[in-house]
Structure 1
Amino acid sequence: MENYPSFQFGEKLLKLAQRAEERAAGQFRRIEETARWNSQKMLAAFQRARVSESSFVGSTGYGYGDRGRDQLDEVYAYALGAEDALVRYNFVSGTHALTVALFGVLRPGDTVLSATGTPYDTIQGVFGLPGREEPGSLRDFGIVYEQIDLLPDGGIDYEELGRELAKDCRMVYVQRSRGYTLRPSLSVAEIERLAGFVKERAPGCLVMVDNCYGEFVEREEPTSHGADLMAGSLIKNPGGGIAPTGGYIAGRRDLVELCSYRLTTPGTGRELGCTLGHSRELFMGAFHAPTVTGEALKTAVFCSALFDELGYEVTPGPEEARADIIQAVKLREREALIAFCRGVQSASPVDAFVVPEPSPMPGYDSDVIMAAGAFTLGSSIEMSADAPLREPYAVWMQGGLNYAVGQLGVLTAAQEVLKLK
């Protein structure tokens, strides 16, 4: 591995990086094979939907008869292994798409059971968890939230789940990714096992998956392996770094239809909604998504291998199978965590001159530091790193539009950490 004119790294770091790449070679091959598999699936989806130049024409007003909008739904449904999909630029975030899905299918008196412990911070107010009883939450509408904590090893507590399913439960909610925790993310195989367990004991109970960060990491998606419904963000994996905003809901056709009534109005549903000229970006993002997700995964694997070589605890490990694009590194010290994030920021294409500082953030009990120099504000498929400043001072890194630049970001983060030694 060599230095570049604009990026100079120490000899020791370059040698460790070379060893890290050698360790990652097997994983890289598997990731590239998965990207090829998902890319051919995406190409087939475009062809099946008969995408043409006219599909990119924007509509205004009510958006009646927007053929491109409907074709984009068809592309996503096929690529995600779902009966149907609802893909819109006006989903403002993954949390928004999840919220529309939850309100679309749940009714007053229903119980939703989280099988993966406390969900990610931004969705807590939607459920109306204690301390997060926001006006307009599901709790406000008489929908009951229950949860099962994960086992100490991060696995699902099937014994407790069986007891809860014996009660009246309308939905089991599953967060695939780890969020700000160090538990393992859920593979499609594990979600399939969970869905089968639920259907066997409570046939009428729905299984819904928060699929953020997990799309195209594996060859199949939860909706083709037992999940009834899932949702995610287009500024994560499925937008391919091109979609400027948006989200999707995918799953059973009847449930997606109910969600469309919540997105617009009962009775009109998906028939309304103009595209305002955003269709080309969303189609292009979807087309590139499998390859870009692969590049982000390679960046994460390299980060895991390099920091393992440096003596830090990493999860997932360099040789572990992955279910999302997130890489966690336990940096053990506050200053090391800050240095890592500043290194990532300084290797970004946008706002590289900005120095991240820890600061308070609503919903967190400690200061949070975030590094993200992205073309799309908040895009998690572009390389970023963030963490609350608390023990064990772990950082969560994700994204990387291409491995060549992602690797530079990891090396720069490592170099800044090493300066503290």
Structure 2
Amino acid sequence: MNSLLKLLEAEQALFPIFSGIDAQVKQNLKRVLSAFRRHRVGAHHFAGVSGYGHDDLGRETLDKVFADVMGAEAAAVRVQFVSGTHAIACALFGVLRPGDEMLAVVGSPYDTLEEVIGLRGEGQGSLIEFGIKYRELPLTKEGNVDWEALPRAVGEKTRLVLIQRSCGYSWRSSLSIEEIEKIIYLVKQQNPNTVCFVDNCYGEFIETQEPTHVGADLIAGSLIKNPGGTVVTAGGYVAGRADLVEAAACRLTAPGIGSAGGASFDQHRLLFQGLFLAPQMVGEAMKGTYLTGYVFDKLGYPVNPPVLAPRRDVIQAIKLGSAEKLIAFCQVIQQYSPIDSYVEPIPWEMPGYESQVVMAGGTFIEGSTLEFSADGPLREPYIVYCQGGTHWTHVAIALEAAIDAIGPA
């Protein structure tokens, strides 16, 4: 009963914020509908082709619609991208050449990118193994972008700047579109030829603009996150300058093929439908993060982002402080998932991650993080990262049980 009262209190306090999210969903949906209308999307675009995938009208139209929605010159939306990390890797390998320098300006990248760069693992064709120079601009002590040092960090040989929009497995604020625009401005002031690349995972439709609307040269992300609207079964995207998108597509396929090939395996309807649903699904996920942050803040746990702070992605982090609580939290979320509710999550070695990870992922699409899920690496200070949620009421039901299982800090 106590947990139910806490949730009712949170819902009442957050009602004005929820109304604001609904207004933003409407604005983003208008943008999507305008792109569908402008490119005359029809049922005939749902039909795909087999084999090489040449002259696929549905795929070509989807690319144009997606680029339009993202404020980009071009896009490549492909089920052949196995993850957001794969799409990001194709973008990086497409742009960078031996001797080039890549600068990460928001501290250390997400765990799964460390092996792509060559910071961890056996190499296996990492950027560093191919002769790409890599540097990081550390965050300030407060966990913010070092605005003072940023201009000095960009040099004549800095070919690409990596901007990771989401906090990943770090205790920092995710970036707003305004901050991304400021980073791009400062970088271009120092070196107009530097490619500003944004890892856009978890950030699509959080605001009414995307990084490509404010000057990003290239962005990449996953379709089993925000832009897939919880119905796309696999894939990722790159969007931005046409030449850079084509360069990334050539890494996905082959030089000479680029974006002109690749069958979509009769997935076009879901790809279009997922993009249509995405603003609404992201809005529900945002409501879920507010609710989660509010309740666990009241229980005495540090939360990131703070309770009433504007959301910049679909992730809510809670510093639980012990492995036992981290595991117990994920087990409860799994129990209240629609799929595999009977499964008990345990920590395990997950490909691409440095530490063991415990993950609650009872989702219809495996690994979907726009559906409600929770995970965290088994390392101090034992932070759980709650993600997604197709409707905030599902999050509320699961949280009621999580409150009882975890208790106050």
TM-score range, shorter chain: over 0.9
**After the TM superposition, which residues 354-393 of structure 1 pair with which residues of structure 2 at under 5 Å, given as runs?**
354-361=343-350, 366-393=355-382
Q: CA deviation at 1:361?
A: 4.1
Distance of 1:137 and 1:416 partners within structure 2: 42
Residue type at the aligned position of 1:47: R
Residue type at the aligned position of 1:107: R
Deviates more, 1:91-100 or 1:398-407: 398-407
> Is 1:117 matched up with 2:107?
yes
Distance of 2:365 and 2:235 partners within structure 1: 12
Distance of 2:12 and 2:325 partners within structure 1: 26
1:44 aligned to 34, 37, 41, which one? 34
- In structure 2, what is the equivalent of residue 34 of structure 1? 24
Deviates more, 1:357-366 or 1:90-99: 357-366
Aligned partners of 1:23 and 1:305 also within 8 Å:
no
Q: Secondary structure at the match of 1:170?
A: strand
Q: CA deviation at 1:318?
A: 2.1
> Is 1:61 matched up with 2:59?
no
Aligned partners of 1:24 and 1:318 also within 8 Å:
no
- In structure 2, what is the equivalent of residue 296 of structure 1? 285
Q: Secondary structure at the match of 1:141?
A: coil
TM-score by length of 1: 0.94
2:73 aligned to 58, 83, 90, which one? 83
What CA deviation, in whole Å up to 9, does each residue of 1:376-413 have, x standing for no partner? 11111111111122222211100111122122122222
- In structure 2, what is the equivalent of residue 222 of structure 1? 211
Q: Secondary structure at the match of 1:159?
A: coil
Distance of 1:192 and 1:339 partners within structure 2: 40
Aligned partners of 1:214 and 1:324 also within 8 Å:
yes
Residue type at the aligned position of 2:98: P
Q: CA deviation at 1:89?
A: 0.7
Q: CA deviation at 1:255?
A: 1.1
> Is 1:145 matched up with 2:130?
no
**After the TM superposition, which residues 323-334 of structure 1 pair with which residues of structure 2 at under 5 Å, given as runs?**
323-334=312-323
1:17 aligned to 7, 31, 36, which one? 7
**After the TM superposition, which residues 188-207 of structure 1 pair with which residues of structure 2 at under 5 Å, given as runs?**
188-207=177-196
Q: CA deviation at 1:368?
A: 2.2
Structure 2 gaps, min length 5: none
Residue type at the aligned position of 1:351: D
Q: CA deviation at 1:366?
A: 4.4
- In structure 2, what is the equivalent of residue 242 of structure 1? 231
TM-score by length of 2: 0.97
1:310 aligned to 266, 288, 299, which one? 299
Distance of 1:166 and 1:99 partners within structure 2: 23
What CA deviation, in whole Å up to 9, does each residue of 1:181-207 have, x standing for no partner? 110000110000000000011111110
2:62 aligned to 62, 69, 72, which one? 72
Deviates more, 1:111-120 or 1:326-335: 326-335
Residue type at the aligned position of 2:216: A
Aligned partners of 1:21 and 1:305 also within 8 Å:
no
Aligned partners of 2:7 and 2:396 also within 8 Å:
no
Aligned partners of 1:233 and 1:246 also within 8 Å:
yes
**After the TM superposition, which residues 88-99 of structure 1 pair with which residues of structure 2 at under 5 Å, given as runs?**
88-99=78-89
Distance of 2:96 and 2:378 partners within structure 1: 36
Q: CA deviation at 1:61?
A: 0.9
What is the number of equivalent residue pairs in this alignment? 409
- In structure 1, what is the equivalent of residue 333 of structure 2? 344
Q: CA deviation at 1:81?
A: 1.3
What CA deviation, in whole Å up to 9, does each residue of 1:335-365 have, x standing for no partner? 2222211110010000001111223445656
Q: Secondary structure at the match of 1:390?
A: coil
Residue type at the aligned position of 2:315: I
Q: Secondary structure at the match of 2:245?
A: helix
What CA deviation, in whole Å up to 9, does each residue of 1:77-112 have, x standing for no partner? 111111111100111000000011111111111100
Q: CA deviation at 1:317?
A: 1.8
What CA deviation, in whole Å up to 9, does each residue of 1:213-263 have, x standing for no partner? 000000000011121101000000000000000000001112112222222
Aligned partners of 1:20 and 1:309 also within 8 Å:
no
Identity %: 48
Residue type at the aligned position of 2:357: V
Aligned partners of 2:293 and 2:316 also within 8 Å:
yes
> Is 1:321 matched up with 2:310?
yes
- In structure 2, what is the equivalent of residue 276 of structure 1? 265
Q: Secondary structure at the match of 2:148?
A: helix
- In structure 2, what is the equivalent of residue 6 of structure 1? none
Structure 1 gaps, min length 5: 1-10
